[in-house]
Every structure is written in C-alpha cells, then in structure tokens.
Amino acid sequence: MYKPIATLLGITFVLIVLLPAGIVGLFPKKDLSVQILDDSADVMKVKVYLKESKKTIEIPLEEYVKGVAASEMPVTFEMEALKAQAIVARTNVIRRVENNLLTPEGGHVTDDFREFQAYSSNEKLKQIWGASYEQNMKKIVQAVKETKGQILVYQGKAIEALFFSTSNGLTENSLDYWGKEVPYLSSVPSPWDKQAPRSINTKTISLKDLFKLFNLTTAVSYADQGQIIQVLETSSTNRVKKIRVGDKVMSGAEFRKVLGLNSTDFSWSIEGNSITFTTRGFGHGVGMSQYGAEGMAKEGKKAFDILTYFYKGATIVNYEKEKR
C-alpha cells in the first residue's frame, strides 16, 4: 500500500534534488578571478609588461583596473575610497593609451609601482589573499563595476592622476616636488592622514654608510662641524626642496631616493657614529592621499567628493560615452 507512494517520493527526490545537483556539478563554480568586467567584446585592451616574467600580456581595460585597485590600496578600505582608486587607475592607463605612451618593452604600462601603477594578476592575488580571496575580490569587483568607464579629465583630457599613501597633513604642489606646475596637482589639507600607520617613521644608518651613499670626500670635516647635511630650501608644505650633503647640492626628492626615506618632510639627529631620520608622511605627496581618501570616505564622502577635492579643477566623465 505504501510502496507506490514511497516510489513516487523517491522519484521526486531524484528530480528535484539529485539531478540538479548533478547538473551543477558538471560545470565549475563561477570564479570571480576570471570574471570579465567588460560587457562587450569591443573594448580597450591594455598591454602590461610583467617585469618578473619579462613578458607583455594584453587584457581588457576593466580587468586591468581591477588588478591595480586590488594592488594599490588596502582592500579593507571603505568602498568609496576603493572606487576613487579605481577611477584613478583607469584614468592613468587611458591617458597612456590615448597618447600612445609605451614602455621600452612595448607595453602601455608595467606592473611595477615604482614606474607606473602596481598590478597583480588573479593568480598572484590568490597567493597574497589566500582564503580571503573570494571575499576580497568581490569587494574590488564591486568598486570597479560601479565606476565602469569613469575617468578624471582636465580641459577635456585625461589627467595625470598621481597618488601616494600618506601626507604630512598637506599634499604637495607638483611644482615644488618635480619643478612642473600642474593646476590640478596643487596642495590641499589632508588632516585625516595623521591617523595612518606610517604617518611618522624613523630610519637610522651609520655615518660611514651615509658618506658612502653620497660619495663624500670631505665627510669627516663636515662631521666635525656638525654640518654634514644642510637644508637650503623648503616648500610651503614643510617638505625639503633643496639640500646640501657634504659638498653636493641636490633636490629633496633626489636625497629621499638615495636614502630610501618615506617622504621629503624629514629631520635628523646625529648620535655617535649614527644618524637618525624622522619622516612625516609616506610617498611623494602629490595628488590623492590614499589615507586621506579613506578618512573622507569614513566621514561619508563619495568617490566624486574625494577626487574633486584632491584634483582641483578636474571633473569625472564616462570615457565610453565621450569616445562615441
């Protein structure tokens, strides 16, 4: 009496539960790491030179932006800060593509942050993030999708959207750091940076190493006088513009590069045979402060507010609509 009912229930179970599960099992789970963010096949392709493998790859624009946003800004940052970073990343690469700017290897960009913008492939991000990969990538994809096609322009052209980690409380004028005046890269207050983990940092080296780095032939006499280093000029944001080391005069940016200091806002003290530098801020200081962007986002500011604050006079347009 109960067998027909039992049989019917068994068939129903197979049709409703087991069969769909089996069908799903035939197909791999959709992986965000290979998700193409572009909706059409006719999209801009970016040539990226990978320095470690010494090869150039070509990938869709939005996939490149995803790899930069994931590499250049902590994924723990607020969504609006990540969206601002995505727009900056897109702006920088489009500027290079539009102006046909190529690396010696033939790429539009490299994956080296010291040259352009950091870029990481999905495989590399899996290694970095481990078990948090799916969760982190979902957040990055959202930031990129919600800003798709958006770039910063000034007088109708994609800007050079420079950015850095942490300011000393003020961003720097491009004229003071590179000797090149760019209207949208002028100094603005960034008080949020004081809470950043690398707001203040120290670095100690021996005087012997200092002499060697700068090839100082008269180093001992300068050491005796307590005048090994002398600041000759500072900017309005308290960063070193020109400095003398021994008998050599150079820019603050050059000095920072040689010593590997966090910023050009620095002071020092000599004790015994060592010299200790104290830096305020992290990075060149020009353009958008990432920790400033995070601070603004935490206050409820949107990506638009962040970007138009740090890049004075620049506007946000949809590149895809503008090019039609």
Q: Are 243 and 252 in contact (CB under 8 A)?
A: yes
Under the banding of pLDDT at 50, 70 and 90, the label for residue 223 is: low
Under the banding of pLDDT at 50, 70 and 90, the label for residue 44 is: confident
Among 319, 324, 314, 323, residue whose Cα is nearest residue 149: 319
- The SS3 of residue 125 is helix
For residue 16, what pLDDT is reported?
47
Among 157, 153, 155, 185, residue whose Cα is nearest residue 317: 153
**Kind and range of the H or E run holding 145:** helix 133-145
Q: Are 277 and 268 in contact (CB under 8 A)?
A: yes
**pLDDT tens digits, residue range 240-256?**
999 999 889 999 999 99
Kindly list the distances between the CA atom of residue 322 and the CA atoms of 37, 145, 151, in Å, as whole numbers in the listed order: 19, 18, 10
More confident residue, 28 or 145: 145
More confident residue, 99 or 167: 167
Look at the block and give the residue holding tokens 């727009």: 87
Phi, psi of 129 (to 5 degrees): -90, -25
The model's pTM is 0.85
Ranges of beta strands (E only) in 67-222 are 109-110, 150-154, 157-158, 163-164, 200-206
- pLDDT surpassing 80 at residue 32: no
- DSSP per-residue string spanning 256-295: HHHHT-S-S-EEEEEETTEEEEEEESBS--BSEEHHHHHH
For residue 321, what pLDDT is reported?
72
Q: Are 262 and 282 in contact (CB under 8 A)?
A: yes
Look at the block and give the residue holding tokens 């590069």: 257
**Tokens representing 272?**
């015994």
Q: Which residues contact 34 (CB under 8 A, 6 or more apart)?
A: 122
Share of the chain above pLDDT 70, in %: 84
More confident residue, 210 or 15: 210
**Averaged confidence pLDDT in the chain:** 87
Q: Are 158 and 166 in contact (CB under 8 A)?
A: no
Q: Could you give the CA distance from residue 175 to residue 65 in angstroms, rounded to a whole number?
A: 28
- pLDDT surpassing 60 at residue 17: no
**Tokens representing 231?**
């600041």
Under the banding of pLDDT at 50, 70 and 90, the label for residue 99 is: confident
Gyration radius from the chain CA atoms: 26
Choice among 30-44, 105-119, 177-191, 222-236 with the minimum mean pLDDT: 30-44
**pLDDT tens digits, residue range 255-265?**
999 999 999 99
CB-based burial, 58-87: b 16+ in 10 Å, e otherwise: ebbbbbbbbbbbbbbbebebbebbbbbbbb
In Å, how far from its chain's centre is CA 19? 47
**Tokens representing 277?**
């530098």
